[in-house]
């Protein structure tokens, strides 16, 4: 069992370590460019490619989307209440609690743990969270007014539409198209993980107390929401495992980038990303020992 868990975590740790060492060695790394490239090009291709490679029904994708929405809503509600009880600013912490790192860490972990079917379902989870994160989440974190552009300007949304057309009408992707999006999509996971390592190396943590508190809350609330979701919806098999594993991911690095862009609570968000990632490295092997 330990070997299986190590085999799942090793590629994640290796790629993230490459980015971490690269940044610590004072080499240039265009994080903003890579993030834009991944979000606008590589990740949408991964969405189309992953769903096209695995024979998942539209019903299975809708089921996963519903489970994702339910888990997200539960974390939002529970997080809102707890933040209010603690007397802290909801805008500062709710986005970090609600939107975990289901891309940089979640996708590769689901792939290595549950295979191509796990990746396809994790991509469906990723799609729903990404749409909400880069619209509602971004608006909350930055204080900007949310507009329709947050939705129709989201490349992942269009990738979802294309994927649903293929799945809904039972169409086979043309070979040239499948090969193209497959090749580009393969760049997503290693680039995400290397960028994660670079980001962690550049973060300066100064607020350990509040960072530890909300890191524990992120993983605890995420796990609680996932367990409630799989129980209520009676999810089984790989779908259940993906919902649980994605639920315990740490705070997304994008939340730190949002704070950096808005120049609001930068150190606080940095501590959340760093500490929750370290904490997740302890929790994930324990959860995988049950799921596998």
* CA atoms of 105 and 117, how far apart (whole Å): 17
Residues 223-244 pLDDT 10s:
999 999 999 999 999 999 999 9
- Supply φ then ψ for residue 251, to 5 degrees: -60, 135
Strands (DSSP E) contained in the chain are none
Model confidence band, residue 40 (pLDDT cutoffs 50, 70, 90)? confident
Mean pLDDT of the chain: 86
Higher pLDDT, 3 or 220: 220
Does the domain at 2-291 match CATH 1.10.3470? Answer given as: no
Report the pLDDT value the prediction gives residue 207, as an integer from 0 to 100: 64
List the structure tokens of 6: 């190590």
* CA atoms of 266 and 263, how far apart (whole Å): 6
Sign of CA dihedral 72, 276, 141, 45: negative
* Cβ contact 99:134 at 8 Å: no
Q: What is this structure's pTM?
A: 0.82
Residues 131-152 pLDDT 10s:
888 788 878 876 666 666 666 7
* CA atoms of 209 and 127, how far apart (whole Å): 32
Model confidence band, residue 47 (pLDDT cutoffs 50, 70, 90)? confident
Sorted by where each begins, the domain ranges of the chain are: 2-291
- The 10 Å CB-count burial string (b at 16+, else e) for 232-266 is ebebeebbbbbbbbbbbbbbbbbbbbbbeeeebbe
Distances (CA, A) of 231 to 226, 234, 237: 9, 5, 13
User: For the chain, how many residues are written?
Assistant: 292
CB count in 10 Å sphere of residue 148 = 8
Residues 160-186 pLDDT 10s:
788 878 877 878 889 999 999 999 988
Task: Please give the average per-residue pLDDT across 260-287, as a whole number.
Answer: 82
Report the pLDDT value the prediction gives residue 262, as an integer from 0 to 100: 67
């Amino acid at each position: 069992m330990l070997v299986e868990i190590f085999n799942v975590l090793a590629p994640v740790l290796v790629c993230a370590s490459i980015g971490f060492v690269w940044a610590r060695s004072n080499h240039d790394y265009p994080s903003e460019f890579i993030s834009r490239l991944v979000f606008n090009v590589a990740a949408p291709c991964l969405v189309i490619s992953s769903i096209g490679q695995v024979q998942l029904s539209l019903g299975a994708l809708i089921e996963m989307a519903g489970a994702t929405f339910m888990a997200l809503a539960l974390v939002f509600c529970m997080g809102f209440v707890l933040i209010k009880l603690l007397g802290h600013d909801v805008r500062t912490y709710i986005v970090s609690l609600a939107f975990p790192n289901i891309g940089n860490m979640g996708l590769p972990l689901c792939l290595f743990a549950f295979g191509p079917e796990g990746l396809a379902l994790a991509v469906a989870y990723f799609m729903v969270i990404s749409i909400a994160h880069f619209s509602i989440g971004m608006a909350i974190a930055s204080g900007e007014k949310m507009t329709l552009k947050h939705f129709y300007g989201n490349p992942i949304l269009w990738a979802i539409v294309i994927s649903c057309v293929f799945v809904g009408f039972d169409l086979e992707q043309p070979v040239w198209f499948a090969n193209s999006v497959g090749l580009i999509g393969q760049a997503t996971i290693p680039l995400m993980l290397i960028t994660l390592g670079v980001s962690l190396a550049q973060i300066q943590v100064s607020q350990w107390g509040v960072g530890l508190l909300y890191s524990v809350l992120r993983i605890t609330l995420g796990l609680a929401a996932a367990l409630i979701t799989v129980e209520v919806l009676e999810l089984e098999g790989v779908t259940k495992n993906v919902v649980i594993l994605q639920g315990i991911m740490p705070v997304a690095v994008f939340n730190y980038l949002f704070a950096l862009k808005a120049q609001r609570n930068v150190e606080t968000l940095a501590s959340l990303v760093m500490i929750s990632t370290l904490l997740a490295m302890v929790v994930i092997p324990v959860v995988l020992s049950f799921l596998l």
